[in-house]
Chain A
């Protein structure tokens, strides 16, 4: 296992990059700890697959160095880096048995027969593949095949890291739960360095200890799932994490009151102080699940018109307009929705301010 350092990495696919927009990776400089479970999350085109390929060695960066445990591997091809990879579609030999598939990477390296048998059985046990060892891979379901791909990575005792490129995209929802859980258990048991690329926030947030959010070739935040939900550093993170994303409303401040056109939202002392120092275009952000809806004005309610209510089973999404702006609230199942006009309460502890798109803190 290894600690992976990305030192001043930038990458352009074009030969002579002219400006910033030619770079798929603009500047990345960070360390991925040994034994950490990381997710690399972002929309398509944000550079996450490029970054994964730089870590694995499939792509050599235009600038910067990649270090494994302090050793410079920038020019080293993937097969010399002891990296295991799991791709979107399972990569295996359909005509071979599950056992032979798992044994393949070991036999390839000339590992001694008894050791091969021992390792294959250990890994099969972890992945619940023992009953299938003598079966041909061709006949197995998609999730079992993906487990074999993963097993081919785990079977080597010398892997520096396992890299996953959207491994659950082609898996049905009910099997995703099972596979995600398996991955978590493997990480708990083996403490491997795992890097998992996905555009699916649910996969990223449940899998990772640290989520690395990318946007237009840059890392915009590295944080625990809770950080990303509660304190998004950038409006993009607010929007991208959560479904629906964070409500973001242009506002002006006057003491402890945020004005959203006609509506007045009260701030707590901490936010008021932060707001006093903020410069630039201000936005007030609040997550849909923290907004409270009432049929009574109450103490701090602001009136909003209900435009639509969508019943999504375990919760409802209510779309409202407040001072001409659209926002969404997420209510738990069973909670009644007022008709027509609702009074919205913005709990002060969940209000965040953004100046020119950056969290005020």
Chain B
């Protein structure tokens, strides 16, 4: 296979396991997002792929060749770090060109490549400036340009936009996605943010505490999170849970909610389950006649100008409702919220996905009527 293969890779530092038995295959020409919390092992994973660190056990193959332990200098890799790294004494032009010096390119070719890459990142007017004369966003664009200018087989980006302005981040996400698509490289991009992962698309590797929890196409994993933990990591606002049980042909949630087994829930046998529901699937008013009702107490309403995030409690459960529009609600107020049972993810008590409202495969239309 043309690409990078991690074969049962483990990384330990003293007694601590940073990565635990990771096996992955990433093909050339694809973008892979690595999603996980801070300290989940994302940076360690990139450093192993780059050859900056050596795995404690396991093998790493690039285009079929074993490169485990081979120095980063002998590999075709470029990496962008979370903190902008530029040469302070070099201009933007020379910073970008620095990655090409070893390539044996002619001066004219280097010049063309530097200008082309700078234009791609909209810093072509800043080529004569020094890093200290740039804003944070411009500095990070320079660092990204330096990595992109070099046609490395492996392009690794470690939360590259986290220190940038929100709006700039949004724009760069769109641009980078286009740049990645045009490249014949293996692109690996780490993030803590579900929205960023969805924006970049491609494939995803969800990791937590040094283990891979799920891999697949990014939207596919979003719509079918295999475990409760993946659903948690891949929902912002966080996904809601309710404890429930299936008896006969009905579901009973918490103590007081009951609805018939229908649609994707039909095949769920009797037993105890955890029902997951994303905040945008709760509503403040009835949408369909199948909706189940929950009486809840308002704990807080956060209004962002066009949507309201209502934090509510139901017994011991705390839930978030994401509702369109501005809905000022009083703290302590008792309200009814509505949910269509067709939107529930069903997890078994061990946290494994039992039934999803989304069909598997390329057709990801939800099972509920749009």
A contact residues vs B (CB 8 Å cutoff) = 43-45, 142, 169, 172-174, 177, 180-181, 184-185, 188, 199-202, 205-206, 224-230, 239-245, 287, 289, 310-314, 332-336
Contacts and interface: CB of A to CB of B under 8 A. Distances in A.
A185 B238 CA distance: 19
A230 B300 CA distance: 23
Given A173-B192, A173-B236, A334 B370 contact: yes
Q: Which 6 A-B pairs have the closest CB atoms?
A: A225-B305, A229-B305, A206-B302, A205-B304, A334-B370, A314-B280
B300 A181 contact: yes
Contacts of B232: 174
Contacts of A43: 165, 167-168
B222 A313 contact: yes
A286 to B, nearest CB: 13
Contacts of A205: 303-305
Contacts of B24: none
Interface string B168-198: 1010000000000000000000001111001
Contacts of B136: 44
Contacts of A181: 300, 302, 311
A70 B178 CA distance: 54
Contacts of B360: none
10 contacts: A43-B165, A172-B38, A199-B167, A201-B167, A205-B303, A224-B305, A226-B303, A226-B306, A311-B219, A313-B195
B322 interface: yes
A200 B170 CA distance: 11
Nearest to B370: A334
B234 to A, nearest CB: 8
Residue with the greatest number of chain A CB neighbours at <10 A, chosen from B37, B300, B364: B300
B105 interface: no
A173 B194 contact: yes
Given A43-B165, A206-B304, A336-B370, A174 B201 contact: no
Given A311-B198, A313-B198, A199 B238 contact: no
Nearest to A241: B305
A332 B237 CA distance: 16
Nearest to A245: B167
A334 B222 contact: no
Contacts of A44: 135-137, 164-165, 168
A45 B300 contact: no
B302 A184 contact: yes
B167 A310 contact: no
A3 to B, nearest CB: 24
Interface residues of B, number: 45
Contacts of B280: 314, 332-333
A313 B168 CA distance: 21
Nearest to B219: A311
Residue with the greatest number of chain A CB neighbours at <10 A, chosen from B165, B167, B331: B167
Interface in B304-328: 304-306, 309, 311, 320, 322, 324, 326
Contacts of A312: 195, 198-199
A313 B311 CA distance: 21
Given A206-B309, A226-B303, A240-B167, A177 B238 contact: yes
B306 A289 contact: yes
A174 B366 CA distance: 25
Contacts of B37: 172, 174
Contacts of A169: 163
B54 interface: no
Contacts of B364: 311
Contacts of A199: 165-167
B368 interface: yes
Contacts of A142: 38
Given A43-B167, A336-B370, A310 B199 contact: yes
Contacts of B306: 226, 229, 242, 287, 289
Contacts of B222: 313
Contacts of B11: none
B150 interface: no
Nearest to A174: B238
A37 to B, nearest CB: 12
B219 A173 contact: no
Given A206-B304, A289-B306, A314 B165 contact: no
Contacts of A188: 300, 331
B303 A206 contact: yes
Given A188-B331, A333-B280, A202 B304 contact: yes
Nearest to B137: A44
A334 B368 CA distance: 9
Contacts of A310: 198-199, 201
Given A202-B166, A310-B199, 18 more contacts: A172-B38, A174-B238, A177-B237, A181-B300, A199-B165, A205-B304, A224-B305, A225-B304, A225-B305, A226-B305, A226-B306, A287-B306, A289-B306, A313-B198, A313-B222, A313-B278, A333-B280, A334-B370
A240 B305 CA distance: 13
Nearest to A188: B331
A241 B270 CA distance: 48
Given A206-B309, A334-B368, A243 B170 contact: yes
